[in-house]
A and B are shown apart, each in its own frame.
Chain A
Amino acid sequence: MKHIDEFRNKGLVKNLINKIEKISHYEVSIMEVCGGHTWAIQKFGIPSLLPETIKLMSGPGCPVCVTSKSFIDHAVAYSRLNNTIITTFGDLIKVPGSTSSLEKEKSKGADIRIVFSVLDALKIAENNPQKKIIFLGVGFETTAPGTAAGIINADKKNIDNFFILSSHKIMPPAMSALIDEGVKINGYIAPGHVSTITGSSIYQGIPQNYNVGCVISGFEPVDILQSIYMLLMQIYNEDFKVEIQYTRAVKPEGNVIAQQAINEVFTLADDWWRGFGIIPASGLILNSKYSRFDAATMISVEVEKTIEEKGCICGEILKGLKKPKDCKLFGTVCTSTNPVGACMVSHEGSCNAYFRFNS
């Protein structure tokens, strides 16, 4: 496959590994904060190729994993209402809430539909005018423009039975919060897809304020290894900055139209992240102009009290403080078939990736 095989070329990989081995002379910690990177690193077996001096950590890059349990409880409560259709990306279906999950509610007869785009959800709304359609808006800057486009469309078409339950978040505050909490990070493999939307400037604070490197990376093995090499150069030369490795997709200014859509519809708010608690100005909620599409304010529902699992260390794993194997539940009580924590549910979650590839 053109444009993929080149980035999986064994010779190039070997060359990069040699270069990394050559310059690596003391231990560094590099964290990826995008679930796609977590997945690719495990799928291609990249840790097995790197020298021991390079410690790779997985951060809070899987949107499903950082979504609060109360959000799931909320969605479950909505799914139990009459004349209501829940539309969602597939990943969210299995995430356990306090006492139920969307999957369990679906098996009991709730109308929960997996969609691949918010526009599919909008179509469902148009075809079912007598029902309320709630789209579960989850994800970072990558999926937020899609949700925004859905709302702008619904507004234009005057669709009044379409609502969003938003858990959209933005990435940079979490990257700062990790360092503020004392997690030792020398460099970030910065998210590729998020950056196609935002551009590179949103990460400027990371090298400036913390002396931590930042390289925006693509998702193929050569991309990731080259990004690691670029980070090592920054770290060992103490020349911290934001660099783009993924130049074939990411422009410094990002996707301006998508940014405008986000700004048109959303406003920043404090948000709850699994493992972190509240991070100030890290969530996206609908602004007053579009609040009539906000499920949380427009449709009242009684939500059960959130119950956190005992023993689950998803929080520490999301911060890179612990590895999935450090969790007592990992692989025994918590498996990809019966996930306890969200990190085990999503295909992009660290526990899921470790469970499948590195157990």
Chain B
Amino acid sequence: MENNIVLGHGSGGKLTHSLIKDIFYKYFDNSILLQQSDSAVFCMQSENLAFTTDSYVIDPPFFPGGDIGKLAVCGTVNDLAVAGAVPKYISAAFIIEEGLPLKDLEKIVESMAAEAKNAGVKIVTGDTKVVNKGQCDKIFINTSGIGIIDKNNEKINTGETIENGDKILINGPVAQHGMAIMAVRNFGSFKTDIKSDCASLNHLIKDVLDTGARVKFMRDATRGGVATVLVEIAQNTGLGITINEEDVPVDENVRGMCELLGFDPFYVANEGKLVMVVHPEDEQKVINAFKNNPLGENVSVIGEIVESHAAKVVLKTEIGGKRIMDMLAGEQLPRIC
């Protein structure tokens, strides 16, 4: 067997077949995939389905706290879960630069399989293309996912039930993913122990929804960070949001690095954080559910929906001042997911 990916691995011939058999089937192993047909065929019994897609181009593909494979599963699982869906099936398409070591591909695929198992989803169909050196950077992955939505949760996706007085929560400290990537790129030549928060949030979300709490809206705060999610909520609902800067958790090492490099943690990407809007009477119920799961144990109520300053997010700063929080223009840091 070759040690590196060559163009032949994408030719559809023998090399492609051995790649599929020796790597993809071996790790993704499930009965739908092993039907080996052009389409995955399965049955889903629900009136409401959620369907999403995302591409992953992160540089570098291996980083503290995860790798591009884990990210490609978590990201799509989370996009489904925050829509109120139970993620079920995932597709995985790979665009690989010739020369990628096969053992790297195997590591990535193994990591995808482990995360899929952890999240309780099946990778049921896929595709592989190999491009010339320089035509992509090592490996790009696209995943699409499909999930089912319970009747009780069908309004979460739009946030149409959000109203004044609702509370806004986050499941833990922000900005870890973006800063971990920054550190691993050796930016400023210093070392840190910051790890990406890359994680599938579907079980955590299920724990909360199972309490019967009135969850009005959820969004995973990926690129653009928490600030972008909050501004989107304010703009889409036309309601005001007040956030207390002091209540937004940021780990000390992340805060230090952000200060040093001039990044605002509110705008730095996360891969395992969700912003949740809940009915004020259910706040405690939700907090309890979060706290019983390691991915939510540092939950914090960061603000609320208010009647004043319509469609705007106002931040009460850590010194007691007030200012507007807006979306980020342009990228703080490219190719982070």
Residues of A whose CB lies within 8 Å of any CB of B are: 1, 4, 8, 10, 13-14, 42-49, 94, 116, 221, 335-337, 347, 355-359
- Would you give 29 A-B contacts (Cβ < 8 Å), ordered by A? A1-B252, A4-B259, A8-B318, A8-B319, A10-B319, A13-B319, A13-B320, A42-B323, A44-B317, A44-B321, A45-B315, A45-B316, A45-B317, A45-B319, A45-B321, A47-B321, A49-B320, A49-B321, A94-B330, A221-B319, A337-B329, A347-B262, A355-B326, A356-B326, A357-B323, A357-B324, A357-B325, A358-B324, A359-B324
Q: Which residue of B lies closest to A49 (CB)?
A: B321
Task: Given A1-B259, A337-B329, A355-B326, check contact A14 B320 (CB 8 Å).
Answer: yes
Chain A residues with CB below 8 A from B134, complex form: none
Mostly helix, strand, loop or mixed at chain A's interface?
helix
Chain A residues with CB below 8 A from B252, complex form: 1
Tell me, yes or no, whether B8 is within 8 Å of chain A by CB: no
Tell me, yes or no, whether B294 is within 8 Å of chain A by CB: no
For the complex, what is the distance from the CA of A335 to the CA of B327, rounded to whole Å? 12
- A10-B318, A357-B324 known; 20 other A-B pairs, CB under 8 Å? A1-B259, A10-B319, A13-B319, A42-B323, A43-B264, A43-B317, A44-B323, A45-B315, A45-B316, A45-B319, A46-B319, A46-B321, A49-B319, A94-B330, A337-B329, A337-B330, A347-B262, A357-B326, A359-B324, A359-B326
Chain B residues with CB below 8 A from A10, complex form: 318-320
Check B329 against A116 for contact (C-beta < 8 Å): no
Chain A residues with CB below 8 A from B259, complex form: 1, 4
Count contacts between A and B, CB distance < 8 Å: 59
Chain A residues with CB below 8 A from B255, complex form: 1
Chain A residues with CB below 8 A from B322, complex form: 45, 48
Picked from A4, A44, A116, the residue with its CB within 8 Å of the CB of B319 is A44
Tell me, yes or no, whether B256 is within 8 Å of chain A by CB: yes
Closest 8 CB pairs of A and B: A45-B321, A336-B329, A45-B323, A357-B323, A337-B329, A13-B319, A48-B322, A45-B317
Question: In the complex, what's the smallest C-beta–C-beta distance from B309 to chain A, in angstroms?
Answer: 11
Tell me, yes or no, whether B13 is within 8 Å of chain A by CB: no
Tell me, yes or no, whether B188 is within 8 Å of chain A by CB: yes
Q: Which residue of A lies closest to B256 (CB)?
A: A1
Encoded as 1 (CB less than 8 Å from any A CB) or 0, chain B from 235 to 270 comes to 000000000000000001001100100101000000
Q: Residue among B188, B264, B326 with the most chain A CB within 10 A?
A: B326
Q: Which residue of B lies closest to A7 (CB)?
A: B319
For the complex, what is the distance from the CA of A342 to the CA of B318, rounded to whole Å? 30
For the complex, what is the distance from the CA of A1 to the CA of B319, rounded to whole Å? 15
For the complex, what is the distance from the CA of A358 to the CA of B322, rounded to whole Å? 9
For the complex, what is the distance from the CA of A359 to the CA of B315, rounded to whole Å? 13
For the complex, what is the distance from the CA of A133 to the CA of B162, rounded to whole Å? 55
For the complex, what is the distance from the CA of A42 to the CA of B323, rounded to whole Å? 7
